[in-house]
């Protein structure tokens, strides 16, 4: 059963692990707190898993923030929800006693976008990120400080939802902020492929994750 603790605003699941790292699992539009648990366990078999359900509904489908149209984000809501997610991670770390300095986001599509927003707005919340098919959530001014923060991004060359320039722009922003960014390209669309997961798992096994 999903957990709704009184001091945590997201319905979520938490699975403890033997590794000091916790994966923050962030689903795509229409997903829920169960969707990425198998993926998280595959990417990091011994990590703890924290998987919240997005609190915004779009035609009954959970999301992490509102959008005005395809690829057009409600920036006011995005800012609010980004703050909300950052606070949730801190509250969950306190409740479940995991290391708040070793949290790696794993997000797909809408989940990748809110993870990127947390990196750009609250750079000390995440120690790293795996972003499957992200786009630029917003462009901060000034840029945050992400010295050495490892980020894996994957994208499809034929992704109609996320054109290549948007992926490349996000990589530029993260690198300009000091992040160590790896971009993996697939000859496909917006779907998550087996080879992307394999590439992310290999990257994660070698990534040097700094304490935030």
Any catalytic annotation for residue 109?
yes
Query: What would the DSSP string read from start to end of 90-145?
Result: HHHHHHHT--TTSEEEEEETHHHHHHHHHHHH-TTT-SEEEEES-------SSPP-
Are 14 and 50 in contact by the 8 Å Cβ rule? The answer is yes
Task: Look at phi and psi of residue 48 and say left if phi exceeds 0, alpha if psi is from -120 to 50, else beta.
Answer: beta
Q: Which helix H or strand E contains 47, and what residues bound it?
A: none
Any catalytic annotation for residue 159?
yes
Residue 196 C-beta-side C-alpha neighbours within 13 Å: 25
Residue 52 CA to residue 202 CA, distance in Å, equals: 25
List strand residue ranges (DSSP E) for the chain, in order.
Answer: 12-15, 22-26, 48-52, 56-58, 61-63, 67-69, 72-73, 103-108, 128-132, 150-156, 180-186
The one catalytic residue in 77, 184, 190, 193 is 190
Rounded to a whole number of angstroms, the CA Rg of the chain reads: 15
Number of alpha helices (DSSP H) and beta strands (DSSP E) in the chain: 5, 11
The one catalytic residue in 27, 133, 159, 177 is 159
The one catalytic residue in 12, 35, 109, 127 is 109
The catalytic residue positions are 109, 159, 190
């Amino acid at each position: 059963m999903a957990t709704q603790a009184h001091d945590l605003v997201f319905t979520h699941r938490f699975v403890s692990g033997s590794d000091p790292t916790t994966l923050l699992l962030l689903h795509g539009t229409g997903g829920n707190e169960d969707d990425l648990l198998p993926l998280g366990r595959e990417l990091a078999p011994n990590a703890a898993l924290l998987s919240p359900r997005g609190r915004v509904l779009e035609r009954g489908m959970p999301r992490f923030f509102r959008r005005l149209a395809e690829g057009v984000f409600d920036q006011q809501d995005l800012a609010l929800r980004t703050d909300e997610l950052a606070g949730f991670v801190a509250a969950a770390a306190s409740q479940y006693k995991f290391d708040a300095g070793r949290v790696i986001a794993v997000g797909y599509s809408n989940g990748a976008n809110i993870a990127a927003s947390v990196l750009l707005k609250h750079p000390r919340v995440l120690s790293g990120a795996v972003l499957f098919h992200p786009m630029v959530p917003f462009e901060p001014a000034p840029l945050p400080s992400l010295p050495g923060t490892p980020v894996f991004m994957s994208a499809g060359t034929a992704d109609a939802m996320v054109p290549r320039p948007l992926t490349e722009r996000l990589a530029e922003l993260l690198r300009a902020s000091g992040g160590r960014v790896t971009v993996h390209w697939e000859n496909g669309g917006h779907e998550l492929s087996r080879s992307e997961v394999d590439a992310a798992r290999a990257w994660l096994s070698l990534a040097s994750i700094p304490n935030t």
